Structure 1
Amino acid sequence: MINFSNYSCLLWDFDGVLMDSMPVRDEGFKHVLAPYPQDQVAKLLTYHRINGGLSRYVKFRYFFEEIRKEPVTEEQVQAMAADFSTVMKRLLLNEQLLINDSLDFVRRRYRDIPMHIVSGSDGVELNMICRSLNLAQYFVSIHGSPTPKTQLVKEVLVAHTYDPARTVLIGDSINDYQAATANDIDFIGYNNAEFDHNGYNYIRSFSTVS
């Protein structure tokens, strides 16, 4: 059993960990990339699902540079990201998407241990969603893209002088694991069976956590 009393700080991914938002984000990519061939969009969606911790900015660049094999400007990426954000703000303000298993734990323990969100989602959009759904009160700070997650974790550690040896990142993607290991903090997988039984610390339900 994982015992969080060993930690002095908890860092949380958002999509797939605190909110079941990945299917909604699929719809965002489909909307923005509707003018392009469906088989290419399908490849982007596969990349998106595998790399949940990466930002939409990275994913749009990947779509053009790796899938379509053509250049894309920063202005184009920003415009697509803004279009994507408009869709997200409309669809994600939905309490039914919240993952109560993890959020019940957050609500029980946020006074005992400082918690932060470090997400691949757009930071401005994420803060708005968390405020609108009354989640912001549980977190010391909420951070998102376009800053890469590895850098976000580093900035939180430095800003609050947290001990990496007593800090853990809870996530559902390989990008979360990579951000944790790059900063010499622990990683715990959640809501992704790929992390279960594969040598990772893993939580199947927060109801079993002390």
Structure 2
Amino acid sequence: MIKNILWDFDGVILDSLAVRDYGFREIFKNFEKEDVEKLIAYHQQNGGLSRFHKIKYFFEEIIHQPIDDNGIECCAREFSEIMRRELSNPQYLIQETMTFISSHYQQIRFFIASGSEHNELNFLCHKLGIAQYFSAIYGSPTPKVDLVAKILFSHDCDPRECILIGDSINDYDAAKTHEVAFYGYNNASLQGISERYIKTFRDIPLY
């Protein structure tokens, strides 16, 4: 029986991926376009990783420049300001996901474990009017694998009674590390990897 569902946020609850792309292009608009597009490709392939990791990756692995924690935080803060402004619109909510969540949150405990920055994530959930559906909402810079561990431990969740719904290989890795069943969603490349792939939320065997 599924008693707890751990949700990724971007691409699963909020159709925010194109806006995230825009955010990275905006904060790095003064750099070479070719280098920024390399970051966008990395970002799209690693949706579950935090912006802190991606910003560091851009400087150290793409343009080969050093950056300290203050520099990373400065870039992340600028990115967050863009996200708070752009993603507060309910039009970005994925309606089939929200229909499922609003219909079942009183029977199943829901949690968010996201690569989005923690304060921004909570701001958006409250601004969008969906925070009440979740027992806890956790974001980066804590890595997703540690967020899953925190949910399991802090909320007394039996991994055998949990599933994690995500759209990236990073979500899959975090789930498997803690022996939580992974359900892929909104990313066809996960169909051959996850225990189940959600084409419709009727595919989730709740009882």
Matches within 5 A, 1:34-49: 34-49=29-44
The within-5 A match list for 1:170-209 is 170-198=165-193, 200-209=195-204
Does structure 2 retain, via aligned residues, the 8 Å contact 1:101–1:207? no
Q: CA deviation at 1:185?
A: 0.8
C-alpha separation between the residues in 2 aligned to 1:197 and 1:179?
17
Give the letter aligned to residue 58 of structure 2.
F
Could you say if the C-alpha distance between residues 175 and 198 of structure 1 is closer, same or farther in structure 2, counting changes exceeding 3 Å?
Answer: closer
In the alignment, the residues of structure 2 paired with residue 65 and residue 166 of structure 1 have an alpha-carbon distance, to the nearest angstrom, of 40
Q: Which residue of 2 aligns with 1:166?
A: 161
Q: Percent identity?
A: 45
**Alignment-derived partner of residue 150 in structure 1:** 145
Shift of 1:30: 0.5
User: For residues 158 and 56 of structure 1, do their structure 2 counterparts lie closer, same or farther at Cα, with a shift above 3 Å needed?
Assistant: same
1:100-111 aligned within 5 A: 100-111=95-106
Match of 2:128 in 1: 133
Check conservation: 2:48, 2:144, Cα contact below 8 A. Answer: yes
Please, what TM-score do these two structures have when normalized by structure 2? 0.96
> For residue 193 of structure 1, what is the amino acid of its counterpart?
A
SS in 2 for 1:116: strand
How is 1:65-80 mapped onto 2 (pairs within 5 angstroms)?
A: 65-80=60-75
Give the gaps of 5 or more residues in structure 2: none
Cα displacement (A) at 1:208: 4.5
The residue number in structure 2 matching 1:3 is none
Measured in 2, the distance between the counterparts of 1:11 and 1:199 equals: 15
Provide TM-score, normalisation by structure 1.
0.95
The partner residue of 2:91 within 96, 108, 125 is 96
Counterpart amino acid of 1:150? V
Shift >6 Å, 4+ stretches: none
Q: What per-residue deviation string (whole Å, max 9, x for no partner) do you get for residues 84-130 of structure 1?
A: 00100100001111101111100000000100000000010010100
